Amino acid sequence: MTGAAACLAGFEGLSVVIHGSSGCYYYPTILLHAQLHGTFIIENEVIFGSEDRLHDVISGLSGHGNRIAVITTCVPSILGEDIRSILAEDEIILVDSPGFSGEVETGYANALSVLAPKIDPETEGVNIEGICLFDLFSRGNQLEITRLLRMANIPTGTVISADKLENIWRASPFTIGTNEDFGSGIGKHLGGTLGFEKIRNTFKRLGDHFENANIDPVLTELEQQEERVVRACDKYLHRYNPPSTAIFAGWSYAVFAAETLSHYLDADICCIGSRTKAGESSYPVVHAAGLSQVSELIRASDPDLVIGSSFERSVCKDKAFTSIIPPVRGRVRLYPTPIAGISGNLSFIENVLNACMDKTD
């Protein structure tokens, strides 16, 4: 449900209704910091049906110029109400996404498929995918990758999912990514933007596909900033040992973190606890499905550094820690920090080095 809401609420011109209880509404609203609407169904509607309540909410939103999307949650799905028939007379986008149907990435992909994206060969530029409200770094990633494309004289196509709704039906034939866990499958994928090497390779492909592109400014900045990272990491390693590290995140960010720390800090990656389906890796990987499992992995590996969310922070005791995935509690987050692109790489290494030094000094 939260993944579906994260996808739909990112589009301008779409009003999103969570059809379920108050808890089903407040959880994604608080986590995503998005404007959502809810039906807040109660016991009476569970027994006698929620049709009237759903129509009341939709009627209140009609006439505001936005399309309306309804996300069904566990209770309506279990009750077996035929929501599609209830909404047959309205032009409503319906996404059936109860919590038991899968993880957040499944809900995101399901909602995006319901929108049925289309490619317009006449649309210029390159789409940016992986911009998902669930992602802590989504806004920063969008700004950073847009900045790099502008430097390379390449127009930005559709930003998925942070764009006008109508742009999802006229996407560019080409796409680059920021977070593969929230991939779109739209157009020809030209590469990712997590880590210096991926950025370098992706922009070289962009240079081959776009006649008016000038990727030299991006490659020049990349070389300069990578040298800064090497110097900072070398300075750290002159004073401290390489940090043994346990990483808990979605697969895309977890692999980025592992590869970056291994390359620049000679870090020993004790384990990766992936929240999403893991691919092939030379690192020890497990699917971390619960806090007790996370706690056991940290206890067994005894890392110097833990990367994850507030869940991991709560059980890592006196280990150095930095966040990479929600939830992040007890911290104020205002600035749109990226993790993708050149600036994202700098920010990640900076946070890791500071976290490690705070614990070792």
| CATH assignment at residue 254 | 3.40.50.1980
Please check whether residues 143 and 101 belong to one and the same domain.
no
Q: How confident is the model at residue 84 (pLDDT cuts 50, 70, 90)?
A: confident
322-333 burial, b at 16+ Cβ within 10 Å, e below that, comes to: bbbbbeeeeeee
> Is 327 a member of any domain?
yes
Identify the residue whose tokens are 């509690």. Answer: 329
Please check whether residues 232 and 337 belong to one and the same domain.
yes
Q: Under a CB-based contact definition with an 8 Å cutoff, are residues 134 and 6 in contact?
A: yes
**Range with the poorest average pLDDT among 91-95, 267-271, 296-300:** 91-95
Last residue of a domain, one of 183, 216, 249: 216
Last residue of a domain, one of 172, 188, 216: 216
> Is 121 a member of any domain?
no
pLDDT score, position 46: 63
Counting the structural domains of the chain, the total is 3
Please check whether residues 242 and 307 belong to one and the same domain.
yes
Q: What percent of the chain has pLDDT over 90?
A: 76
pLDDT score, position 330: 86
Arithmetic mean of pLDDT, 92-105 = 88
Tell me which residue range forms the domain holding 162. Answer: 126-216
Measuring CA to CA, which residue among 5, 13, 270 is closest to residue 133?
5
Please check whether residues 36 and 144 belong to one and the same domain.
no
Q: Which ranges of the chain would DSSP assign to H, the alpha helix?
A: 2-8, 22-32, 43-48, 51-61, 74-79, 83-86, 104-115, 138-151, 196-209, 216-239, 251-265, 291-301, 310-315, 341-360
Please check whether residues 261 and 212 belong to one and the same domain.
no
Sheet with 156-160, side-by-side order of all strands: 156-160, 126-129, 174-177, 188-192
Task: Report the SS3 class of residue 174.
Answer: strand
Please check whether residues 234 and 336 belong to one and the same domain.
yes
Arithmetic mean of pLDDT, 39-68 = 79
Residue 71, Cα to own-chain centre: how many angstroms?
Answer: 19
Task: Report the SS3 class of residue 201.
Answer: helix
Amino acid at 229: V
- What are the C-alpha distances in Å from 296 to residues 248, 284, 309, 358? 13, 15, 16, 24
> Is 204 a member of any domain?
yes
Task: Report the SS3 class of residue 176.
Answer: strand
What's the CA gap between 156 and 79, in Å, rounded? Answer: 44
Please check whether residues 89 and 71 belong to one and the same domain.
yes
- Averaged confidence pLDDT in the chain: 92
pLDDT of 332 over the 90 cut:
no
> Is 120 a member of any domain?
no
Q: Please, what is the Cα angle at 189 between 185 and 191, to 5 degrees? A: 130
> Is 274 a member of any domain?
yes
**Range with the poorest average pLDDT among 21-35, 169-183, 194-208:** 21-35
> Is 278 a member of any domain?
yes
Arithmetic mean of pLDDT, 100-115 = 93
Last residue of a domain, one of 115, 134, 151: 115
Please check whether residues 344 and 229 belong to one and the same domain.
yes
Please check whether residues 73 and 135 belong to one and the same domain.
no
Please check whether residues 97 and 131 belong to one and the same domain.
no
Cis ω for the linkage preceding 161 (within 30 of 0): yes
> Is 238 a member of any domain?
yes
- Full-model pTM: 0.93
pLDDT of 156 over the 90 cut:
yes
Amino acid at 163: D
- What are the C-alpha distances in Å from 192 to residues 13, 110, 205, 242, 283? 28, 22, 11, 27, 20
Q: How many CB atoms lie within 10 A of CB 20?
A: 24
User: Which CATH number does the domain housing residue 165 bear?
Assistant: 3.40.50
Please check whether residues 243 and 356 belong to one and the same domain.
yes
Q: Under a CB-based contact definition with an 8 Å cutoff, are residues 297 and 286 in contact?
A: yes
pLDDT of 48 over the 60 cut:
no
What's the CA gap between 317 and 321, in Å, rounded? Answer: 9
- The DSSP H or E segment spanning 15 is strand 14-19
pLDDT score, position 361: 57
> Is 307 a member of any domain?
yes
Please check whether residues 245 and 294 belong to one and the same domain.
yes
